[in-house]
Structure 1
Amino acid sequence: MKHKKLLLALFATTLFYAHAQAQKENKDKIVGCWKLVKMEFEDPNDPGKEDADAAINSVVCLKKDGKFETNAQQRKVQGVYAISADGKTMTQSMEGMDGGEDGEILLLTDTNLDISAAGAILHMVRIKE
């Protein structure tokens, strides 16, 4: 019985460490410049699809201090972002935007970032700054 309790405590500690490590890794890994290469819409008739073509190849640069810059649709926009405690959600807000907008981080590697937000999945690739 003592061994089971010890193993359970060790397992819980390992899970807590892995969770904390994943959060830290996502906060660090997401920093950099990302180019939007593809958008997939949940609703094939989404009116936002018309603007999607203009957004393709736009770049967003996420800085370590929680600020970002983007050149979406040929204009420079600045804002702030944050990664949730579990490392799975990114919240952003920018100039002229009421409140913030959340996106679920579906994939984050050294080269790819996929985020689900506002009925679409945004596929991005890391580029050099």
Structure 2
Amino acid sequence: MRYLKLLLLTVLLTPTARTLAQKDHARKILGCWVFQKIEYDNKAVAENAESPAPNSVTVCFEAGGTYTTTEANSNTPITGTYAVSADGKTITQQRDNPEEGTLDENAVLSFININSMVLQLEFARLYFERKNKE
């Protein structure tokens, strides 16, 4: 009987833990993040890629599911919407780009700590630090 109660408790808590993980990452991502570095999975891609300079890109995630990306040398921000998956592991961004239509991007979302975030793309990892409020 004791094992049955333990099994029942585990079955009931698993969906709750998944929901909490999604909500936790959805809360952690809110605010502004400053690009720090990119690590490519393929050396050939790294040699041919143009990487932004550290501290040159800021991405701000709002509670309503919208984001804004600004680059230091550009007056035109990139805007769009985002969603964190049910398990809290993936972020989907949909960029509004009138010239090219809507662009979708998916990344695995992880946090080194509360102030350090990593987005794992298909070909590279992007590292961000939380922007200090000024």
Query: How far is the alpha carbon of 1:83 from its aligned partner?
Result: 0.4
> What is the total number of aligned residue pairs between the two structures?
127
- Ranges in structure 2 where 5+ consecutive residues have no aligned partner: none
Correspondence 1:25-40 to 2 at 5 A: 25-40=24-39
Change (3 A) 1:55 1:92: farther
Aligned twin of 1:93: 94
* 1:11 partner SS: helix
Give the superposed CA RMSD.
Answer: 1.9
Contact 1:104–1:115 (CA under 8 A) maintained in structure 2:
yes
Structure whose residues are more often helix by fraction: 1
Which SS does the other structure have where 2:91 is aligned? strand
| Identical-residue share of aligned pairs (%) | 28
What is the distance in 2 between the residues matched to 1:62 and 1:8? 39
TM-score (norm 2): 0.84
User: How far apart are residue 93 of structure 1 and its match?
Assistant: 1.4
Q: Give the letter aligned to residue 50 of structure 2.
A: D
Q: TM-score, normalised by structure 1?
A: 0.87
2:101 is the alignment partner of 1:102: no
Instruction: Classify the secondary structure of the residue corresponding to 1:65.
Output: coil
Task: Check 1:108–1:32 CA distance in 2 against 1; reply closer, same or farther (3 A cut).
Answer: farther
